[in-house]
Structure 1
Amino acid sequence: MKSIKVLIAGGGIGGLALAVALRERGISAEVFERAKSFGNTGSGVELTPNGVKSVDRISPRLGSAVRAAGWSSDLHADDMPIMSWDGKLLKSREVGNFPAKWGAPMIGILRAELHRLLVEAVHRPGPTPVTVHHQAAVVAASTSGDTASVRLADGRTVTGDLVVGADGVRSTLRSVVTGDVQPRYLGFTSVRGISKRPAQHGDGFVFVGPGGHFFAEACDESRLFWTATINAPEHSWPAKPAEQARADLLELWGGWSAPLSETVASCDLEDLVVTDVHDCPPLKRWHTGRLVLLGDAAHPIGPVLGQGANMALEDVASLACLLAENDVPAALRMYGRVRSQRANKIVQHSRLLARLGHTTNPLVGMVRDALIKSMKRREDTYRDKELFSYSP
Structure 2
Amino acid sequence: MTRKVVIAGGGLGGLAAAIALRRQGIDAEVYEKARDLRPIGAGLSVAPNGLKALRAIDPAIVDALRPRGSEAACFHLRRAGGELVATTPTTHEERYGAPVLNLLWSRLQETLAGFLPGDAIHLGHRLAGFTQQADHVVTRFENGATVRADLLVGADGIHSAVRRSLVDEGPPRYAGRLSWRGVVGLAHPSLRPRDVTMIAGTDGKTFAIFDIGDGLTFWSAGALSPEPTPSDSAAAAKQRVIDLFAGWAPPVGDLLAATPAGDIVERPIEDRTPLTRWSHGRVTLLGDAAHAMVPALGQGANTAFEDARELARYLHHHADLTAALAAYEASRIPRTQTIHARSALQGNRYYEADSEVFSRAVLERANADQNAFEDWLYGEAPA
TM-score w.r.t. the length of structure 1 is 0.89
Q: Is the alpha carbon distance of 1:42 and 1:300 closer, same or farther for their aligned partners in structure 2, counting shifts above 3 Å?
A: farther
Q: Which amino acid aligns with 2:252?
A: L
Q: 1:387 aligns with which of 358, 377, 383?
A: 377
1:278 aligned residue: 270
Aligned-partner Cα distance in 2 for 1:22–1:319: 8
Q: Is the alpha carbon distance of 1:123 and 1:80 closer, same or farther for their aligned partners in structure 2, counting shifts above 3 Å?
A: same
Q: 1:368 aligns with which of 349, 352, 358?
A: 358
Aligned-partner Cα distance in 1 for 2:191–2:369: 23
- Tell me by how many angstroms 1:379 deviates: 9.6
Q: Which amino acid aligns with 2:80?
A: W
Aligned-partner Cα distance in 1 for 2:170–2:330: 19
Structure 2 matches for 1:213-228, cutoff 5 A?
A: 213-228=206-221
5+ residue gaps, structure 2 = none
1:157 aligned residue: 146
1:348 aligned residue: 341
1:199 aligned residue: 189
- Tell me by how many angstroms 1:196 deviates: 2.7
The total of aligned residue pairs comes to 377
SS at match of 1:288: coil
Q: Is the alpha carbon distance of 1:369 and 1:72 closer, same or farther for their aligned partners in structure 2, counting shifts above 3 Å?
A: closer
User: CA contact under 8 A between 1:177 and 1:292: conserved in structure 2?
Assistant: no
- Tell me by how many angstroms 1:262 deviates: 2.1
Structure 2 matches for 1:91-102, cutoff 5 A?
A: 91-95=86-90, 97-102=91-96
Aligned-partner Cα distance in 2 for 1:378–1:91: 18
User: CA contact under 8 A between 1:91 and 1:372: conserved in structure 2?
Assistant: no
- Tell me by how many angstroms 1:314 deviates: 1.0
Q: Is the alpha carbon distance of 1:331 and 1:349 closer, same or farther for their aligned partners in structure 2, counting shifts above 3 Å?
A: same
1:70 aligned residue: 69
Q: Which amino acid aligns with 1:368?
A: F
Aligned-partner Cα distance in 2 for 1:377–1:137: 46
SS at match of 2:324: helix
User: CA contact under 8 A between 1:302 and 1:347: conserved in structure 2?
Assistant: yes
SS at match of 2:34: coil
User: CA contact under 8 A between 2:92 and 2:98: conserved in structure 1?
Assistant: yes
- Runs of 4 or more consecutive aligned structure 1 residues displaced over 6 Å after TM superposition: none
Aligned-partner Cα distance in 2 for 1:144–1:216: 50
Q: Which amino acid aligns with 1:117?
A: T
1:34 aligned residue: 33
Deviation track 1:53-81 (CA, whole Å, cap 9, x = no partner) reads 111112111111111211123xx3xx210
SS at match of 2:130: strand
SS at match of 2:120: strand
1:249 aligned residue: 241
SS at match of 1:287: coil
- Tell me by how many angstroms 1:347 deviates: 1.1
1:231 aligned residue: 224
Q: Is the alpha carbon distance of 1:372 and 1:16 closer, same or farther for their aligned partners in structure 2, counting shifts above 3 Å?
A: closer
Q: Which amino acid aligns with 2:280?
A: T
1:339 aligned residue: 332
Q: Which amino acid aligns with 1:33?
A: E
User: Does 2:171 correspond to 1:178?
Assistant: no
Q: Is the alpha carbon distance of 1:275 and 1:377 closer, same or farther for their aligned partners in structure 2, counting shifts above 3 Å?
A: closer
TM-score w.r.t. the length of structure 2 is 0.91
Moved more, 19-28 or 261-270: 261-270
Deviation track 1:165-219 (CA, whole Å, cap 9, x = no partner) reads 0010011111233332531011111211002353214222111222222222111
Deviation track 1:20-43 (CA, whole Å, cap 9, x = no partner) reads 111122111121111111102341
Aligned-partner Cα distance in 2 for 1:379–1:344: 17
Q: Is the alpha carbon distance of 1:366 and 1:161 closer, same or farther for their aligned partners in structure 2, counting shifts above 3 Å?
A: closer
1:187 aligned residue: 176
2:323 aligned residue: 330
Cα RMSD, aligned residues only: 2.2
Aligned-partner Cα distance in 2 for 1:17–1:174: 19
- Tell me by how many angstroms 1:52 deviates: 0.7
5+ residue gaps, structure 1 = 125-129
Aligned-partner Cα distance in 2 for 1:184–1:379: 27
Q: Is the alpha carbon distance of 1:366 and 1:262 closer, same or farther for their aligned partners in structure 2, counting shifts above 3 Å?
A: closer
User: Does 2:139 correspond to 1:147?
Assistant: no
1:127 aligned residue: none
